[in-house]
Structure 1
């Protein structure tokens, strides 16, 4: 089991931003991720900085911890420009980047690039774009020259030399729960990401959430089997904060949570860096104790 964190890009680098990423490394987190959004939910009217510049700064301020997005989506990204940025970021970090990637949701910044009056993408349209986005991005990060003419994305003689530091490319952690997304995770992912079942967040129980995740992992296994791939080859990441559980209430609560999810096959748990007066508020002392002692207690 690995323990990672999400540090939202909501602070100026000189006013706590740098310190948080460096502290994450000091605490021994496996990875520190950030959201790739233009704005997000209750933080929409406050400070919010770009994911790639933030990760670039974090790469120069740290030396060991893995870094990445959780997650990037096609909502406002194009595979060609994203690939160039990722190759650069992987180089700057010395090969410490993981790309968390998903189909994207609705609302908030999902409509930022649409024309006035233009209808937002439907779930099917998001899935269609995601189904083209991921394979093209895979090619752009592994092939020297790429030409592609698709329904949603084009690339003409795009060169990405010298490619990623990590070979054959930096790892993809694919967030998915539907059949099409799970097939993409099975084909292109080095890891799979879940937040549980969002329908259970407010009214469900931890037991119901674990049952839902078990079902998702079972379907992921079926998608892998269709491709002749062993599902054990994929890491399985649980992004907390969107299920009925409260793993940051205490070290014991975290140990119970981590243990029950390890039994399901989850091998990476991601907790949000505490932000006062927000949905991610938590006791900083408890959070740091979880970071340093949580997994050690789990293994006893």
Structure 2
């Protein structure tokens, strides 16, 4: 059983210790010790820190916005020290509740962070980036013009990994049909044809889609709090970012509903979540978050 018998303060301290062991830096919390004031790294190496700590209903969590993973004190300890959740729980109970352990079981030694051992697949198992797609960070004038009509700059497109499509099978970006490739993960692209005659080909995916991916913009979120706008499309999110001081994320499609863990993390981080859904049947009938 992994039922918690530790207090909120003890669980919080375990998370803080894991963060420090992993990064060598202290996580900065607000005055009430209920959420972090700045993003931080945890477990993963990434260019921009995307982890946040928050307390929900008396239980502290770490949420990694970039990977979409939420850790409690047990799973965080397990991840930091390469243990199973069961092993992590037993060690924590031996340290924090030694009176409840078997007298023959010694208290475990203090651990030092050890980075996870990465399993390198055999050469024939390595997944390579797709070779049948070519993209360019240098946009053609007609590609720039499409987004400039919406007030969206090339710099904002680059920040969100949106490139001009140069070749995919028989498809390429032309003045009459600008086509864009949005990089998702290490080797996946979402193709966007805004002027496609057949709406079925307006969006489609090429390459490997990261497991569990369904939201754009999480890794680009800053340390600011305030209001967060949630839209049904990346173009809507880019428009909000280009014309307002607010932050925004986009659902991959209208049928997506974010996980409860992600919503808890966002509510702990932002004052308000503002839903910007289309006024169609899907948008008006979408369950509340």
Could you tell me the TM-score, scaled by structure 1's length?
A: 0.27
Could you tell me the TM-score, scaled by structure 2's length?
A: 0.27
More helix by share: 1
